[in-house]
Amino acid sequence: FFENDPVLLSRILTYVTLGFHVIFATIGVGIPLMIAIAEWIGIKRNDPHYTLLARRWARGFVVTVAVGVVTGTAIGLQLSLLWPNFMQAAGHTIGLPMFMEVFAFFFEAIFLGIYLYTWDRFKSKMKHFLLIIPVAIGATASAFFITTVNAFMNVPQGFEFVNGVLTDVNPLAAMFNPATPTKVSHVILASYLTSAFILGAIAAIHLIRGNKHVYHKKALHLTMVSAAIFAIGTALVGDFSGKYLHEYQPEKLAAAEWHFETESEAPLILGGILTEDNEVKYALEIPYALSILSGGTPDTEVKGLNEFDPEVLPPLWIHYFFDLMVFIGMFLATVSILFVVLSRKKGWNPFNRPLAWMIAAGGPLSMLAIQSGWVFTEVGRQPWILRGLMTTAEGATTSSHVGLMLILFSVLYLVLGVTCAVVLRKMFKGNPVEHELEERGISQPTA
């Protein structure tokens, strides 16, 4: 059924590209901030271990940025190849934020280059630290601008819609639409959280393998304290996202929660399966929770699926992706907060094996939560590419070459992914922390 359906193939190719890009984009947004925090602590406490953390993280970061640039460019190319009607209708409306993302990237890249080549070149370490600030700002600004584009697809505004063409465009009103505040902050915080967890997972794996060097313990402490803060922030903003959906995209929320009848005191449904006649089975119900997520109070009335035209409802399987994201979010918050609590109490050991294993699992899980969140929000917007104005099928190409493109790009991502993994492995295996500390003449207490 593949060969003759350019719409389906375009959707798959776009998903493969975005899903792959978002891995690198996410760490690209969060890691500069983690580098900045590590370098700052290194200066303030005069602790070379933290400085070395910043150095090593920055070195690995360069490799992932390079991949992010290639995949990001692939998206830019595919947008006009696969979604020509969408780009023709909306291209000039979203042109400003799209251009700004590339601009933010150049801003980031220039300072990253200077940052990397000026370690040890300044008399004052503070001057070197200052260079990472624009890198972190540029990275977060990329996420900001590009996410406004996605927000616009969910709540298109800032134009007149005449005969299928968007005219009289106001790019700023398009950028700052009602979906922007929650989406942008949820994406940015989730990126910080995921980056902290991935770096924490690396430290945890060193501990699990029996390397008890204090460097790894400091890395774990720094990343888990940050992760605890970001996890709370992500969950809080996630709650606001629920309230946003309730107001502007109630069909997405109802589909995610298998909520059929409009009612107040609506429960949140976790897991379960849906029978042929739309009955929910084997699910865990949290009473009132959907009403509270939607409006803050149990008596909030939540619109049910039965109120909508079935033609414009998203597929109901997005339920599982929403659940997966929320479940992982709870897990990450619990693990990181537990770590912080254990490290505050004398005599308790935050570096115990079971917790280290959970942190190690939290790295890949956090990335899975990012993927689930995007699948939920993108599939949850279907059948629309521009909600209410243009369907995904209308936006797509009719070209018959999409199948070939899908194969070629998949091979490209496979090669990029493997190369990236191999390079990172070589980079860090060949130059372990102990070796680098010795080389730099830093004494190594192994507490």
Residues within the interface to ligand HEB (CB under 6 A):
21-22, 24-26, 28-29, 64-65, 68-69, 72-73, 75-76, 79, 101-102, 105, 139, 142-143, 146-147, 149, 179, 183, 186-187, 190-191, 193-194, 234-235, 238-239, 241-242, 244-245, 252, 325-326, 328-330, 332, 366, 369-370, 373-374, 376-377
Residue 227 to residue 223: CA distance in whole angstroms: 6
Least distance in Å: CB of 109 to ligand HEB?
8
Sign of the torsion formed by the C-alpha atoms of 177, 181, 183 and 187:
positive
Least distance in Å: CB of 348 to ligand HEB?
26
Least distance in Å: CB of 26 to ligand HEB?
5
Least distance in Å: CB of 391 to ligand HEB?
18
Closer residue to ligand HEB, CB minimum distance, 193 or 222: 193
Least distance in Å: CB of 444 to ligand HEB?
32
Closer residue to ligand HEB, CB minimum distance, 192 or 351: 192
Give the CA angle between residues 198, 201, 202 to the nearest 5°. Answer: 95
Closer residue to ligand HEB, CB minimum distance, 6 or 30: 30
Least distance in Å: CB of 354 to ligand HEB?
21
Closer residue to ligand HEB, CB minimum distance, 305 or 325: 325
Least distance in Å: CB of 166 to ligand HEB?
18
Least distance in Å: CB of 442 to ligand HEB?
29
Angle 48-82/214-248 helices, nearest 10 degrees?
40
Angle 48-82/125-154 helices, nearest 10 degrees?
30
